[in-house]
Amino acid sequence: HYFPAPKKGEHIIDSPFGQLSYPEMPIHEYVWETLQSYSHMIATECGVTGRKYTYAQARDYSSYIARSLLDMGLKPGDVLAIILPNLPESPIAFLGCLEAGIVITSVNPIYTVDEISKQLISSGAKAVITSTEIAETVKSAVKQSMPGAKLIVVDDQVNSMTSDAIPFEDLIKKGKTLPVPSSRDFAFDNVAVLPYSSGTTGLPKGVMLSHRNIVANLKMMADTLKDDILVPSNGVFQQIIPVILPMYHIYGMVTVMLSKMTTGGKLITLPKFTPESYVRVLERNPVTELMLVPPIVLFLTSSKLVKKHFLDHVTYITSGAAPLSDTDVERFYEKFSIARDKLKFRQGYGMTESSPVSLYEKTGTKYSSIGRPICGCQARLVDPITKKDVTTPRQTGELWIRGPHVMKGYLNNQKATEETLQDGWLLTGDIAYFDEDSDFFITDRLKELIKVKGFQVAPAELEALIRTHPNVEEAGVVGIPDDRSGEVPMAFVVLKEKGATKTEEIQDFVKGKVSEFKELRGGVRFVDSLPKNPSGKILRKKLKALLE
């Protein structure tokens, strides 16, 4: 992979991890490429029920799923929504769709009916794969937004709720009898997955990621971590990774699920994070690596349930998706008194729009740094006002990213695409600086996004919802710091009739209409007006300043 020469005024920070080369093959072929040497080993296992699949089974079953999906009338390029908690079947469903050339839109399984409907409509999904547990909610969403769509349900217990749905199991059985489709119009730059992100502003948008984007990012990480990746040989060693980050989110999908399957790891899936189930997985399995978000790092440090010996085999912990401080990591080491070169703590920086990883702190020594651009990635810092590149250490600017992992664009949204992709660069909306060693640090967010436990909350979505309250004139939502979740949403509200509505009524109004993590846990404050710029955009920094 080669980059264009820097233009005048561009101060580009290159990756210290060498030149990238990656194969032009579909994601699923890349994932299965080295499977021969560990085909009999476990690929996925449910941390609750123990249901499991070997690599050979996972590969075969996903291929049968691909054949069945095409046999059902779905065509390459059609969109299918995967709405699944982390189950051992989730990667099989995922890789099956990719093999069929079907575009996956990944939906948060804890979403409400309205939230699911919005994504189904926006993505133009023609079929859904879900699980028995959430089938009722998903069915309502399908009925509301895409009647006639095919509904496939993973689980052994198809019940009355799902009697008209197609069991996943049946697709595997049927697929085995079907011929391998002879030719498909596969292109490396076809869209493969369509996760949703609100980007710098507005509502969640479909992020078009191609096979190239994702294969490139998997290889970028592999080349960056080279010496640290352990692949089983002759069944001698296998990485064991609990999968608690949801696979609908880009971090769980690419950096945990796909990346660890590419190198023959054993994924222990947990359908939802509960302290008890997570601790049980740590207690019962010699886990080798943890991929986390900061609130879970804090959980490990603060929970009495987590014992030192659970971490005996862990050599790396990665944290990403939200800021992590030096103190957070110091406290972790203090509690467990583990040698710092035995278990390394490393931070990654990623974004849905970049498939996701762009920077990584490989040494495991500068805890609050996101490190350097990974192999095949370039970075710049651009002053958001003067538009000039930052050239000296410790000066802040907006982080811009370039590489083969940067998205094709937002689905059906040229305006947002043009604002975010400029001249081949991805404008991240994050404010950062680099130090004297060229290690990067995130300091702030230019974009309006709120991160609750590492997951996206789009202020515009909550504002639109709050405005539907009969006594609300206007609303502006911001994130405020929270010990447990990192940030929580808080609303500034202008009422039509002052005094006629209590703050709790606004909080209750939001409850149930959105997933729990989006609720206004930061509270509500009534104001006379919202600060805005001349074109009517809410000035969120000024709103936040009201709290100081």
Closer of 175 and 459 to ligand 4UV (Cβ): 459
Closest residue to ligand 4UV using C-beta atoms: 320
Is 377 a binding residue for ligand 4UV by CB under 6 A? The answer is no
Closer of 108 and 137 to ligand 4UV (Cβ): 108
Is 441 a binding residue for ligand 4UV by CB under 6 A? The answer is no
Q: In the set 232, 350, 371, 409, which binds ligand 4UV (CB under 6 A)?
A: 350
Of 32-40, 99-107, 180-188, 346-354, which segment contacts ligand 4UV by CB under 6 A?
346-354
Q: How far apart (Å, rounded) are the C-alpha atoms in residues 354 and 94?
A: 19
> Phi, psi (5° rounding) for residue 280?
-60, -40
CB of 351 to ligand 4UV, least distance (A): 4
CB of 323 to ligand 4UV, least distance (A): 4
Is 357 a binding residue for ligand 4UV by CB under 6 A? The answer is yes
Instruction: State how far Cα 548 lies from the chain centre.
Output: 32
Q: In the set 58, 92, 128, 351, which binds ligand 4UV (CB under 6 A)?
A: 351
Is 358 a binding residue for ligand 4UV by CB under 6 A? The answer is no
Q: Show the binding pattern over residues 247-286: x = contacts ligand 4UV (CB under 6 A), - = does not.
A: ---xx---x-------------------------------
Closer of 370 and 466 to ligand 4UV (Cβ): 370
Q: Show the binding pattern over residues 181-210: x = contacts ligand 4UV (CB under 6 A), - = does not.
A: ----------------x-------------
Of 48-56, 225-233, 372-380, 425-433, which segment contacts ligand 4UV by CB under 6 A?
425-433
Q: How far apart (Å, rounded) are the C-alpha atoms in residues 277 and 284?
A: 11
Structure tokens at 307: 């014992």
Is 458 a binding residue for ligand 4UV by CB under 6 A? The answer is no
Sequence-separated (6 or more) residues with CB below 8 Å from residue 187: none
Element housing 70 (H / E): helix 55-71
CB of 206 to ligand 4UV, least distance (A): 13
Q: How far apart are the first and last CA of the chain?
A: 47
Is 318 a binding residue for ligand 4UV by CB under 6 A? The answer is yes
User: Contact, 198 vs 450, CB < 8 A?
Assistant: no
Of 5-13, 20-28, 298-306, 422-430, which segment contacts ligand 4UV by CB under 6 A?
422-430
User: Contact, 110 vs 455, CB < 8 A?
Assistant: no
CA distances for 448 relative to 200, 294, 503, angstroms: 6, 20, 23
Q: Show the binding pattern over residues 513-532: x = contacts ligand 4UV (CB under 6 A), - = does not.
A: --------------------
CA angle 352–357–360, rounded 5-degree value: 145
CB of 349 to ligand 4UV, least distance (A): 4
Q: How far apart (Å, rounded) are the C-alpha atoms in residues 399 and 10?
A: 13
CB of 289 to ligand 4UV, least distance (A): 12
Closer of 175 and 454 to ligand 4UV (Cβ): 454
Q: How far apart (Å, rounded) are the C-alpha atoms in residues 100 and 70?
A: 7
Q: In the set 84, 171, 270, 321, which binds ligand 4UV (CB under 6 A)?
A: 321
Residue-wise burial string across 42-70, b where 16 or more C-beta atoms lie within 10 A, e elsewhere: bbbbbbbeeebbebbbbbbbbbbbbbbbb
Q: In the set 109, 204, 264, 323, which binds ligand 4UV (CB under 6 A)?
A: 323
Is 290 a binding residue for ligand 4UV by CB under 6 A? The answer is no
Q: In the set 78, 115, 430, 461, which binds ligand 4UV (CB under 6 A)?
A: 430
Element housing 489 (H / E): strand 486-495
SS3 of 385-438: the string is CCCCECCCCCCCEEEEEECCCCCCEECCCHHHHHHHEECCEEEEEEEEEECCCC
Is 476 a binding residue for ligand 4UV by CB under 6 A? The answer is no
Q: In the set 57, 137, 210, 352, which binds ligand 4UV (CB under 6 A)?
A: 352
CA angle 335–339–345, rounded 5-degree value: 80
Sequence-separated (6 or more) residues with CB below 8 Å from residue 511: 519
CA distances for 406 relative to 4, 340, 398, 410, angstroms: 15, 34, 16, 11
Is 220 a binding residue for ligand 4UV by CB under 6 A? The answer is no
- Identify the bridge partners of residue 476 per DSSP, sorted by sequence position: 492
User: Contact, 501 vs 491, CB < 8 A?
Assistant: no
Q: Please report, as ranges, the residues that interact with ligand 4UV according to CB under 6 A.
A: 197, 250-251, 255, 318, 320-323, 347-352, 356-357, 370, 428-430, 442, 445, 451, 454, 456
